Amino acid sequence: MAAQNFSLALSTSARSAPYPKASPGYGKRAVPDQRPPTADDFAFLPERERYIAGYVDRLPDGAAMSIKSLAKCQPLYGQMAVGSALRALAVAGHLRQVRCAVDGSEGLRWVTRTFWSRTARDNEWWNAFLAAEESRCAPQPAVAPVGPPPWVPAEPAAAEAPAPAPVLPKQRAGQPQGPSPAYLALAELGRTDARLALSAADCAVLEQLAAQWFARGVDADYLTRALTAGLPEAVDSPVGFVRRRLRDKLPPQLPAAQGAPARRLMVECADCGAYGKAEVFRDGLCGPCLRSAEGSAADPVPEEDSGAGCDVQGHVRRLREQLRAR
């Protein structure tokens, strides 16, 4: 029986409302030189991945690509299924998630982008594309302002009093402050994955540890992915588990604002969420996750234990073999 093509059969309810756009600088970025869309673009993928791929392919550039946004705006799959599908699509060569350093009015900041390709690409293509993208993200030399021609007489300088320094309003004593971004990110963990549900007291205890992540330039979306990636089947103590990950996965300190960073683009591992150089990744996976996936693929899974709830590592070997056979 022919496989149903979910890439062209998206339900009307999934498109009834405008899809949310990501913050400026974030979101989906379609790569160049793609073939026109066809009915069998993702026919070689499993059913779930085929549906998510078709859905993502029709999103405009700049659309929000977080797992939470994708799960909320399509009707068939929740956050865990969407996360597994995105990991499989990275392995199959359709996407890479990266952090890119950009210069703005507030100085250097890191943004998370998802580069999407309807055409499956191999590692060499992605490495070359991301190297070019990193060069494009590099700061351009400032152009010296052009003054008036030398024959134009200079205007006499007007004697003006120096402008007074702006007076910033002070917060009134006793005015309550809202929760910090670190506290809010911790409070949202339980909504992303119930295994990491924290109480108000737990969030208060862990707030300072999470604040160290924000001080190093990450955002709430990055923190959530790092804490929820690769969770065990059961978490006995969510507060202890999150405390351990906050300490063990603390990102490196960003360089000073006046100096350009050594790297302006880092790739995110599709499995564990760790970042690194594009050239050390293979099939969207870092070294440890790649070895783990290959080790799992080498061990046959009993038929009675297989099913929809299996981890994406079971698809890695098959997807890679199918991609190389094309």
Q: Where are the domains of the chain?
A: 12-138+265-300+308-325, 181-248
Average pLDDT of the chain, as a whole number = 76
How are strands ordered across the β-sheet holding 275-276? 27-30, 107-116, 95-104, 265-268, 275-276
At which residue do the structure tokens 């008036």 appear? 148
pLDDT at 151: 46
**Overall average pLDDT of the 271-284 stretch:** 82
Structure token pair of residue 213? 């992540």
SS3 assignment, position 149: coil
At which residue do the structure tokens 């068939």 appear? 76
| 270 Rama class: left (phi>0) / alpha (psi -120 to 50) / beta | alpha
pLDDT at 51: 94
pTM summary value: 0.55
**What is the DSSP pairing of strand 107-116 with strand 95-104?**
antiparallel
**Overall average pLDDT of the 40-61 stretch:** 92
Task: Tell me which of 193-197, 237-241, 297-301 is least confident.
Answer: 297-301
pLDDT at 255: 60
At which residue do the structure tokens 């959530």 appear? 224
Contact 114, 27 (CB under 8 A): yes
CA–CA separation, 131 and 27 (whole Å): 19
Cα 282 from chain centre? 17
Contact 269, 284 (CB under 8 A): yes
| Residue partners of 83: CB distance under 8 A and separation at least 6 | 67
| Residue partners of 297: CB distance under 8 A and separation at least 6 | 313, 314, 316, 317
Helices 313-325 & 287-298, crossing angle to 10 degrees? 90
CA–CA separation, 284 and 270 (whole Å): 6
Task: Tell me which of 101-110, 171-180, 306-315 is least confident.
Answer: 306-315
**Overall average pLDDT of the 295-311 stretch:** 49
Structure token pair of residue 177? 């402050």
| Residue partners of 294: CB distance under 8 A and separation at least 6 | 316, 317
Alpha helical stretches, state H, the chain? 47-57, 67-73, 79-91, 123-137, 181-192, 200-215, 220-228, 238-248, 287-298, 313-325
Please tell me which residue, 280 or 6, carries the higher pLDDT value.
280
Please tell me which residue, 304 or 189, carries the higher pLDDT value.
189
> Of the candidates 297, 192, 289, 276, which has an alpha carbon nearest to the alpha carbon of residue 242?
192
